[in-house]
Amino acid sequence: MQTPKSQKTATLYRTVMPEHICPHGLRSKDLLKRQGFTVNDQHLKTRDEVDALKTLHNVPTVPQTFIDEERIGGFDDLLRHFGKNKRASEELNYQPVIALFSIGLLLAIAITWLEFGATLTGKTIEWFISISMVLLGLQKLMDIERFSSMFLTYDLLAQRWVPYSYLYPFVEVGAGLMMIMGILTWVSAPAAFFIASIGAVSVFKAVYINKRQLKCACVGGDSNVPLGFVSLTENLMMIGMAVWMVAQA
């Protein structure tokens, strides 16, 4: 049966070995399908097959995509061919923050339901902020070196005393956990107030006074969240929580 002339086809060569399946090959295949192509999916199952393809077409990497017998190239080349923007991971966006705060809110609602049999109470907001503090600190601790490097670009105290850039996530997580449990308020509230106050002043100075365009270290050193409103809001939430906890004590 012949393929209809109107049907778009592409040939994709990608690495599929027992010890390695190329993620960019899978992305290329998915992108082609979403663009309406029927994909002639050619698996390179050995290192020799990969090297032979590279030599044949004089290319440094695989996957390689061909459309109408014209070599398009790898995944990035394919994105450009279809007029797509840069990968989302390279663009400034608020997705990590939205995801984190959404999960924090859902966890707070879940705890409220288990504790009180209700969806929302005054405690829900407390748990939301304290859970978010823990989640934010966790993101920073996942790669503390990268967090420290990004944090040093704008935090005023860290620029004067570098070890603070390593201590910050531990203080944030510790204060958040104590606030969730409602213990040691005399420790958690001052700690949260201290780091959040310095953070708020640092962000305000860097963004709104010095007009610098920086990435925010609030969700770790591997994010592309722009420094500004989100980080300032994070710090103001921590300050508000600290003051509230002291008032409630």
The predicted-structure confidence for 152-196, as pLDDT tens digits, reads as follows: 989 999 999 999 999 999 999 999 999 999 899 999 999 999 999
* Domains in the chain: boundaries: 8-84, 91-248
pLDDT at position 82 over 80? yes
Q: Read off the pLDDT band of 97 (50, 70, 90).
A: confident
pLDDT of residue 91: 63
Distance CA 50, CA 109 (A): 51
Pick from 19-23, 83-87, 185-189: least confident: 83-87
Read off the pLDDT band of 221 (50, 70, 90). low
pLDDT score, position 2: 46
CA distance 191 to 168: 10
**CB distance 46 to 40 below 8 Å:** no
Q: What is the pTM of this model?
A: 0.73
Residue 69: predicted pLDDT: 86
* Highest mean pLDDT, choosing among 1-15, 72-86, 145-159: 145-159
* Bridge pairing between strands 20-21 and 70-73: unpaired
Backbone phi, psi, residue 133, to 5°: -60, -45
Residue 18's pLDDT band, with cuts at 50, 70 and 90, is confident
Query: Residue ranges of the alpha helices (H) in the chain?
Result: 23-34, 47-57, 75-81, 95-116, 122-141, 144-151, 156-160, 164-181, 185-203, 229-248
Task: Specify the pLDDT at position 193.
Answer: 95
Residue closest to 14 by CA, chosen among 3, 5, 2, 27: 27
For the chain, the average pLDDT equals 88
pLDDT at 64: 95
For position 1, what pLDDT does the model report? Answer: 42
- The token pair that represents 4 in the structure block: 């209809």
- The CATH number, out of the four listed (3.40.50.300, 3.40.30.10, 3.40.1710.10, 3.40.50.720), of the domain defined by the range 8-84: 3.40.30.10
